[in-house]
Amino acid sequence: RPERSVGVSVDGAVKDVNAPVAVEVVDSESKETTAVVGGGVEDVYGEDSATEDHFITPWSVSVASGYSLLRDPHHNKGLAFTKKERDAHYLRGLLPPVVVNHDLQVKKMMHNIRQYEVPLQRYQAMMDLQERNERLFYKLLIENIEELLPIVYTPTVGEACQKYGTIFKNPQGLYISLKDKGKVLEILKNWPQKKIQVIVVTDGERILGLGDLGCQGMGIPVGKLSLYTALGGIRPSACLPITIDVGTNNEKMLDDEFYIGLRQRRASGKEYAELMNEFMSAVKQNYGEKVLIQFEDFANHNAFDLLEKYRTTHLVFNDDIQGTASVVLAGLISALKLVGGSLADHKFLFLGAGEAGTGIAELIALEISKQTNAPLEETRKKIWLVDSKGLIIRSRLDSLQHFKKPWAHDHEPVNKFLDAVKAIKPTVLIGSSGAGQTFTKEVVEAMSSFNEKPIILALSNPTSQSECTAEQAYTWSEGRTIFASGSPFAPVEYNGKVYVSGQSNNAYIFPGFGLGLIISGAIRVHDEMLLAASEALAEQVTQEHFDNGLIYPPFTNIRKISAHIAAKVAAKAYELGLASRLPQPENLVAYAESCMYSPKYRNYR
């Protein structure tokens, strides 16, 4: 009986089995060897190994047969195994006799998932499917993205993280704790996949708007990487979720008997910095210069420091600072088609001056500077921020954290947010505070009093932390606001008209952004790449979308949108001399699409 398992090249690197390979079947009893050709597929996005470096060494690969094949999520097809495949791979009798096609499997799974009324149950059903049949999971997610995105990511993933210890079944990534100091490289080598292209890492200190969830923040990297694959076409085998566990200051977690992390107060200072430095060095040593490291949901003080420290030595990206900024800027560029004028003609007021708020503000200032050739110091003066102590002004300069200082302008002290709105009279109001219901009726009415079409973006996640709901924004502004939110809201009917609000979701940007970095072989992230991504996303909003009041395109066509974003980001990488995959493809959009992972089943022979 042939025993088939993943084969290895002469240099020890594991070849992804999705790529065209030679399959070598060795009979353990007769020692006879038969060579057959496997892999390869015709599909809309081409072969998903296109971004790999192709080695001269011929590959031999083997895939587990029989019962173990049904337990391998990377290769299991469930009832979709053909009769010929069942005979060839010792599956006869291990499955019911019916053969079901991929589309019918998707239909059945969606039917099953819709039976659950509780979102967390739907989340668990999706995670169970991912651990059972990877390609079915991604086909299901891609084809039903608008319905399932709120399940596999925000807002449901927030609840999943809060209850991660209770619902934890199988580990889905790497856990690196303070106890592993000096052994981080060894841990990275324990991960079975060796050709990693994207790492999403968190320390769990600021999960969405829910605060410090410690080790249970792992749900965020897992969810983000699912979207990298579904929306950006990055191969699942090239994605690695990691949680850095340095403890938690959340007493509820520490007292929870089901908590899965270190039961100690959160480490900081030198101890924290040394572990992170060992981690960053080990990643580069193990996976090379071109692996993308995305920092996710770190607290403000660490997020800015880590990005600043490693942006010149590693390919790093902070989605909370840079991804959020890019998607919001895209929405603002689109909104200008509805309200008129240029970015420089508008005045911006933020509630929240953390990672998201200052990141968005900086990218807006950069874009205005690019459009007007005005110095960055001047363009920043059009942007005002409010934090927990009130309007950020020059007289507070000495007490401000370093990332807030560029936004301290000359103005008398204003402590209350409503008073700041009335004093500044912004045309654009942006909430990134993580504090729910802070855009009150009085705030929205004030915005509407001095703007014909006020732009209001309530970005905080999950839904419970949103600064206001879509219904409140449209009702209080008498249907005049241009509204978008971080979490999804249902359409709103007001005075006989239905308003469909957009979702300013980072998932528009980071999957295509990551794909663009990978297909160009970029070695660093530059701010101009973020501007290129914003402009590419804004270009995808059509007149039909504008007519419906939308400033973002629907998610239904997200893979095409991601390909366009990837092409613009890659083009900027080549222009800046940061690309290493040469020569530059003539048609970057077509090349991006050809590199995207497809969940279509492979035929086994």
* Amino acid (one-letter) located at 540: Q
Give me the residues paired with residue 503 across strands.
Answer: 485
User: Does the annotation list 445 as a binding residue?
Assistant: no
User: Does the annotation list 206 as a binding residue?
Assistant: yes
CB–CB of 405/387 below 8 Å? Answer: no
* Residue 317, helix vs strand vs coil: strand
How far apart are alpha carbons 59 and 253 in whole angstroms?
A: 47
Could you tell me which of 467, 347, 349 has the C-alpha nearest to residue 414?
Answer: 349
Give me the residues paired with residue 34 across strands.
Answer: 25
Could you tell me which of 134, 71, 11, 88 has the C-alpha nearest to residue 605?
Answer: 88
How far apart are alpha carbons 69 and 73 in whole angstroms?
A: 8
* Residue 72, helix vs strand vs coil: coil
Cα dihedral 71→75→77→81 (10° resolution): -100
User: Does the annotation list 505 as a binding residue?
Assistant: yes
Choose the catalytic residue: 45, 123, 153, 591: 153
Beta strands 348-351 and 316-318: pairing type? unpaired
Buried b (16+ CB within 10 A) or exposed e, 142-163: bbbbeebbbbbbbbbbbbbbbb
Question: How many of the other CB atoms lie within 10 Å of CB of 59?
Answer: 21
Choose the catalytic residue: 15, 77, 195, 224: 224
User: Does the annotation list 205 as a binding residue?
Assistant: no
224 in catalytic set: yes
User: Does the annotation list 255 as a binding residue?
Assistant: no
Beta strands 174-177 and 33-38: pairing type? unpaired
If you ran DSSP here, which 8-state letter would residue 202 be given? E
272 in catalytic set: no
If you ran DSSP here, which 8-state letter would residue 204 be given? S
CB–CB of 335/478 below 8 Å? Answer: no
Give, in order, the Cα–Cα distances in Å from 383 to each of 107, 366, 422. Answer: 48, 12, 15
The separation between CA 26 and the C-alpha centre of its own chain, rounded to angstroms, equals 41
User: Does the annotation list 302 as a binding residue?
Assistant: no
Instruction: Indicate which residues carry an active-site annotation.
Output: 153, 224
Q: Pick out the residues of the known binding site for a divalent metal cation.
A: 296-297, 320
Q: Pick out the residues of the known binding site.
A: 206, 296-297, 320, 461, 505
Q: Pick out the residues of the known binding site for (S)-malate.
A: 206, 461, 505
